[in-house]
Structure 1
Amino acid sequence: MTDSPADNTWLTLPAPAKLNLFLHITGRRADGYHNLQTLFQFVDYGDELAFRVRTDNELSLTPEIEGVAAEDNLIIRAARLLQKTSDSPLGADIRLTKILPMGGGLGGGSSDAATTLLALNHLWKLGLSLDELAELGLSLGADVPVFVRGQAAFAEGVGEQLTPVPELDEPWYLIVCPQVHVNTGKIFQHEGLTRDTDPINIRTALRQGGRNDCQQVVTMLYPEVGNALNLLNKFSFAKMTGTGACIFSSFGSEKEALRVSDQLPAEYVAFVAKGSNLSMTHKVLFRPS
């Protein structure tokens, strides 16, 4: 494991993106949340966070994200929650290198929050288990627990009921990010969203996959996403991750994915990344000494 920076050094960790390989909405609950089924897999691409312990209980985050107050940022909220839960007298300086687009369906904010919980649990020597950290993370967002646990997983409920799926193929992905911010709440509240997909089990999910029930509504409300899907489908079957806006196709090799990426119009932001059944955060934080 990475050494604790008692000498005031920085601990730097990745905060990887995730893909929803499918996303089925199986019902709407009385509290307004939706029951879903999805298959999460990580990629070796994402944000980066650096942490340094403070002894004065203060938290700082740099740089500021335009339009997001510091105390509203999921990173600071995660750190405050951990302070409150553990009664830790310590604080932290946190530096964020933001790579993933906001509103892209790649889980960037949730991944940042999870990495913060994992890092500060380690640096503050709190000794909380992954189960305890995942439970804390759920109060920050439905996707946070999968990043805390760090394993590709079949998810149910609102996304918090996780069953590890370590046997997934780990292909290369081409991920295209239309320049539009999708409002997740707007998608889940839309009257046109399908909410009655029949539940499936893990075996069926692994055998036949599934679709993204949000995709039709998103492409109707955000034509940029539909245009990107139509373009990428000319090269390889494409689908949307989460509530969008990002879309992806899988390939057998990095070379093949890069070849398609090179053919996309210049206005498209795209990247190629390797699928991973273990989060890059866990690979760094829990690697053998």
Structure 2
Amino acid sequence: MKLPKSVLSPAKINLMLRVLGRRADGYHNLQTSFELLDWGDTLHLKPTSTSDVVIEGDFGDLPQHNNLIDKAARLLEPFAKKPQGIKIEVEKKIPQGAGLGGGSSNAAVTLLILNRFWQCDLPIEVLMRLGLKLGADVPVFVFGKSAIATGVGEQLQAYDFGSRFYVLFMPDCMISTATVFSDPDLERGQQMVATEVVDDPAVWINDCLPVVLSRFPQMRSLYAQLSLTDEIYLSGTGSTLFAAFDSLQRAESCAERGRAFCSKVAVVKALKKNIL
């Protein structure tokens, strides 16, 4: 495979996230809807003459060789028929702890790239199972389509949520998934909704929202300000708040209002093409 020079590593939002109950293994059964976005990080790729995988980028507090890209590469190494060196430089736009799946997306795109570059020839279903070892959000990015999900988020059904515009509000606030899911006040007895209605914003609840608002005053203040003029939702277990609109004009107006309260704002759409 000839390497592309760069590949989008898309962000996601959870239009809804219902916590159905805690599992025996400590994880939670969920019903959620993933919308993959046309915005995110970019992986810049370059073949090298060595056999090493070299990773560069700003990964915050994570050691350079303890990030999900490195772990994804190590998972694929045993399957490589033609191992080759590669340099992966990550241009980060997705904040850590934002509920946008940045690390999971990076890992999934790495699996997709190296599966071809190293001629592993593994089917998507196998790559999704490997990705689940890295995190519950990795399979949907390998799947590469917006989807409804159950289980811990790995049982996926492709779903087209239409052509909405989304306004992302990304405050400087990192929220740990483990912190939210271990909170004793988290609602864990939610009921599933029928597939036929998941596209209705009336069912876009996120059971993590009350915990986030209660535990993080910055989030509570931002949510209160934005909610004065628009219907506001929380993505995943992170700190990104978002609004959804049927027109670009309305989305841009919302973004402009929100910049008075949040410095990092993006207007995005759903990803309608394959990652590779």
Q: Which TM class, normalised by the smaller chain length?
A: over 0.9
Aligned partner (choices 268, 280, 289) of residue 263 of structure 2: 268
Aligned partner (choices 107, 127, 138) of residue 133 of structure 1: 127
Which position in structure 2 is the counterpart of 1:206? Answer: 199
Q: Does 1:175 align with 2:168?
A: yes
Q: Does 1:80 align with 2:78?
A: no
Q: How does 1:218-257 map to 2 (within 5 A)?
A: 218-257=212-251
Cα distance in 1 for residues equivalent to 2:79 and 2:219: 40
Aligned partner (choices 157, 175, 185) of residue 192 of structure 1: 185
1:70–1:192: structure 2 CA closer, same or farther, 3 Å change rule? same
Displacement of 1:209 after TM fit? 2.5
Which position in structure 2 is the counterpart of 1:52? Answer: 46
- 1:188-230 deviations in whole A, cap 9, x for unaligned? 0010000000122312323552300000001111111122222
* Greater CA drift, 58-67 or 237-246: 58-67
Q: Counterpart amino acid of 1:99?
A: K
TM (norm. structure 2) is 0.93
DSSP 3-state at the match of 2:196: helix
Count of paired positions = 274
Q: Counterpart amino acid of 1:272?
A: V
Cα distance in 2 for residues equivalent to 1:206 and 1:263: 26
Cα distance in 1 for residues equivalent to 2:240 and 2:58: 24
DSSP 3-state at the match of 2:257: coil
1:226–1:115: structure 2 CA closer, same or farther, 3 Å change rule? same
Q: Counterpart amino acid of 2:65?
A: E
Which position in structure 2 is the counterpart of 1:4? Answer: 2
DSSP 3-state at the match of 1:258: helix
Q: Counterpart amino acid of 2:265?
A: A
CA contact (8 A) 1:56 1:89 kept: no
1:230–1:266: structure 2 CA closer, same or farther, 3 Å change rule? closer
Displacement of 1:66 after TM fit? 3.3
Q: Does 1:156 align with 2:150?
A: yes
DSSP 3-state at the match of 1:72: coil
Cα distance in 2 for residues equivalent to 1:234 and 1:187: 25
Displacement of 1:90 after TM fit? 2.3
Cα distance in 1 for residues equivalent to 2:120 and 2:63: 27
Q: How does 1:56-135 map to 2 (within 5 A)?
A: 56-86=50-80, 89-135=83-129
CA contact (8 A) 1:51 1:94 kept: yes
Cα distance in 1 for residues equivalent to 2:232 and 2:129: 33
Displacement of 1:267 after TM fit? 4.5
CA contact (8 A) 1:21 1:40 kept: yes
DSSP 3-state at the match of 1:122: helix
User: What are structure 2's unaligned runs of at least 5 residues?
Assistant: none
Displacement of 1:87 after TM fit? 6.2
Displacement of 1:240 after TM fit? 0.3
Q: Counterpart amino acid of 2:154?
A: E
CA contact (8 A) 1:55 1:89 kept: no
Q: Does 1:165 align with 2:145?
A: no
- 1:79-136 deviations in whole A, cap 9, x for unaligned? 1111134465323111100001100000111011111111111222221111111111
Cα distance in 2 for residues equivalent to 1:183 and 1:159: 17
Give identity over the alignment, percent.
Answer: 36
CA contact (8 A) 2:98 2:170 kept: yes
Cα distance in 1 for residues equivalent to 2:142 and 2:47: 20
Displacement of 1:251 after TM fit? 1.3
- 1:216-267 deviations in whole A, cap 9, x for unaligned? 0011111111222222212220010001200000112222211221223165
Cα distance in 2 for residues equivalent to 1:191 and 1:238: 24
Q: Counterpart amino acid of 1:273?
A: V
DSSP 3-state at the match of 2:14: strand
C-alpha RMSD of matched pairs (Å): 1.7
